[in-house]
Amino acid sequence: MTRVRLAEVAARAGVSLATASLAMTGKGRISAEVREQVLAAAQALGYRRRGLPVSPERVRNVGILHHQDKNFEWNFIRPILFNLEAMLLEHNLLPILLPVSVGADAERVFQRVLAAGAGALFSIHFHDEALFERLEKRGIRVVIVNNTNLQSRFHSVCVDDFQGAYEGCLHLLKLGHRHLLYAEYERPELPAVVADRFIGFRKALEEHGVPFAPAGRITIRPMNRRELASRLKAAFSRQPRPTAIFAHDDYLASYVYASLGELGLRVPEEVSLIAPGDVLDYAEPCTPPITTMRINTASLGILAGRLLLDLLKGEIHDVHVLKLKQQLVRRGTCARPA
């Protein structure tokens, strides 16, 4: 049977040969629409890149699913991707980026993974139980990165969000804060992280006998600054006023920081601020220096890479879950209450 050439795929998709090559490898600035177009053409023609395995036991290509519509997460996932790529290339495995949108159609994702010739798959944040089960039935091993929603079913490498929120709240309590505000935003795609962080925060308060009223929890629509400002204004109009805020992550904390300034409140002189992170790039001079419970994303990538390699060697059989501890990084937004 004659091998289908990439030029035929490009012609069917109506793109140049160079664009088709970039789309198949997951590299370059290719729109999601064009990438989907090329992958669909490859699937329809039965195209396989040279060196692709015929069976899952001979893995050469490894897909990496990641959200493409959350620009603020790029700084967070970049070290994961770099370390995964380095480990895979070291073992003669080819990483193929497969960007997906939140709520992406499972069938289309399934076909993209097959079209990429992936014999194994990393999924960063994205999860779909039925999709992953279907892939594993095809012999495609799945490792979920930084998502605890399916940790009882699939091999996962994630962050201990409960511990991070617990210790972050504990840091505020040790400074003497007793009137705390909790700020979060809706994340329907990651319900476990939302729940774990709030439960960890509440656990620290309960152990220290600090009361917490339902009004002390602010939940807004994703990064709705007007809604956040309104909720903060209402919270600081009540007595006793909050002396510290625990934010869901440091991206939200940057919005909180700006809103507090608009209310004439100084950080940390009047209000302390802490959040899990680091989603923000603190090397940028315009980034507010927020105290965080740091998530070491480079380690997430290294551990996920090692886990997959052990899976491919047949050294792991039961579901493995590896969790990273968050570390306090002081950047000057926490102080003793005035």
- Indicate whether 317 pLDDT > 80: no
**Angle formed by the axes of helices 17-25 and 32-45, to 10°?**
90
Encode pLDDT of 2-32 as tens digits. 667 888 888 998 988 878 877 776 656 677 7
Q: What is the CATH number of domain 56-159+298-324?
A: 3.40.50.2300
For the residues 286-313, what does the mean pLDDT come to?
Answer: 94
Please state which architecture CATH assigns to domain 161-295: 3-Layer(aba) Sandwich (3.40)
* Per-residue pLDDT tens digits for 51-91: 333 333 457 899 999 988 777 788 889 999 999 999 999 98
What is the residue extent of each domain of the chain?
1-47, 56-159+298-324, 161-295
pLDDT tens column, 133-172: 999 988 899 999 999 999 989 999 999 999 999 999 999 9
Residue 334 tokens, joined: 């926490």
What would the mean pLDDT of 264-288 be, rounded to a whole number?
Answer: 94
pTM: 0.79
pLDDT at 51: 38
What pLDDT does 162 receive? 97
In this prediction, residue 57 carries a pLDDT of 43
1-47 folds as 434 Repressor (Amino-terminal Domain) (1.10.260)
Q: Do the domains spanning 1-47 and 161-295 agree at the CATH topology level?
A: no
- Long-range interactions of 47-51: CB distance < 8 A, separation 24+: 47/4, 47/5, 47/6, 47/8, 47/9, 47/115, 48/3, 48/4, 48/117, 49/6, 49/24, 49/117, 51/94
pLDDT digits (tens, 9 = 90+) for 180-223: 999 999 998 889 999 999 999 999 999 999 999 999 999 999 88
Strand positions, DSSP E, the chain: 61-67, 94-100, 118-124, 141-145, 155-159, 180-185, 217-220, 244-247, 272-277, 291-294, 321-324, 327-329
By CB atoms closer than 10 A (0-12, 13-18, 19+), residue 234 is exposed
- Identify the pLDDT of residue 196: 96
Q: Residue 1 has what pLDDT?
A: 47
Chain-centre distance of CA 320, in angstroms?
Answer: 19
**Which residues lie below 8 Å from residue 17, measured CB to CB, with a gap of 6+?**
6, 7, 10
